[in-house]
Amino acid sequence: FNISTNAGYTGVPTPVSSLLIIVYFYANYFYAFAFGGLTYPFLEFAYFITPFLLIFTGWLNITTYIKFGEKGKSVYYLFIILAPCSPIFGIIGILNPNFIVSITIALIFLGFFVISLSWVLLNSVITQISMKKEKGTS
């Protein structure tokens, strides 16, 4: 929800932050499945990163430091591209659970995660810079 009087959004839109969490845990699931079952750990450092990742994702939703411009199409494009991929790759991975398929899908989801997180942070920085330039020229 955008309750401020300023144009644009403050914080990351909820569908994007939920996609970040979904693709991270799908990557975790298929990585574990490829290497030895569902109890296999997802890259040892994930035990320590996951709680901070969840806190960081929640913070992204409510922070005033991340700003997006007026309703743009980029959020919708990201959501439209990545949202259908999650169930499609999930079904493929569950139907054909061998090492190559599982690790490939885990890497695809890890790539989606990195791309989504990079997009959120980069888009925010670009918006912040353009907002400062507009205030400076006004």
Q: State the distance between the two ends of the chain, measured CA to CA, in whole angstroms.
A: 28
Q: Whole domain around residue 93: which residue ranges?
A: 9-137
On whether residue 18 sits in a domain, the answer given is: yes
Spatial neighbors of 101 by CB under 8 A, at least 6 apart, are: 92, 93
Q: Total structural domains in the chain?
A: 1
| Dist CA 25 CA 107 (whole Å) | 12
Q: Return the pLDDT at 106.
A: 83
- In this prediction, residue 84 carries a pLDDT of 82
* Average pLDDT of every residue of the chain: 75
pLDDT for 27 equals 82
Tell me, yes or no, whether 127 lies in a domain. yes
Strand-pairing partners, residue 9, are: 68
Structure tokens at 10: 């403050």
Distance of alpha carbon 116 from alpha carbon 21, whole angstroms: 10
CB 89 within 8 A of CB 105: yes
> Does residue 2 lie in a domain region?
no
Cα torsion 97, 98, 99, 101: sign: negative
pLDDT at res. 77: 73
Q: How many Cβ atoms are within 10 Å of 81's Cβ, its own excluded?
A: 13
Q: Is residue 4 part of a domain?
A: no
Residues of the chain where predicted confidence (pLDDT) is lower than 70:
1-13, 38, 41-43, 65-76, 78, 131, 136-138
Can you give the pLDDT at residue 1?
47
Q: Give the ranges where the chain is alpha helix by DSSP (H).
A: 14-36, 46-62, 74-82, 85-95, 99-137
Reduced to 3 states (helix: H, G, I; strand: E, B; else coil), residue 10 is strand
Q: Supply the pLDDT for residue 99.
A: 85
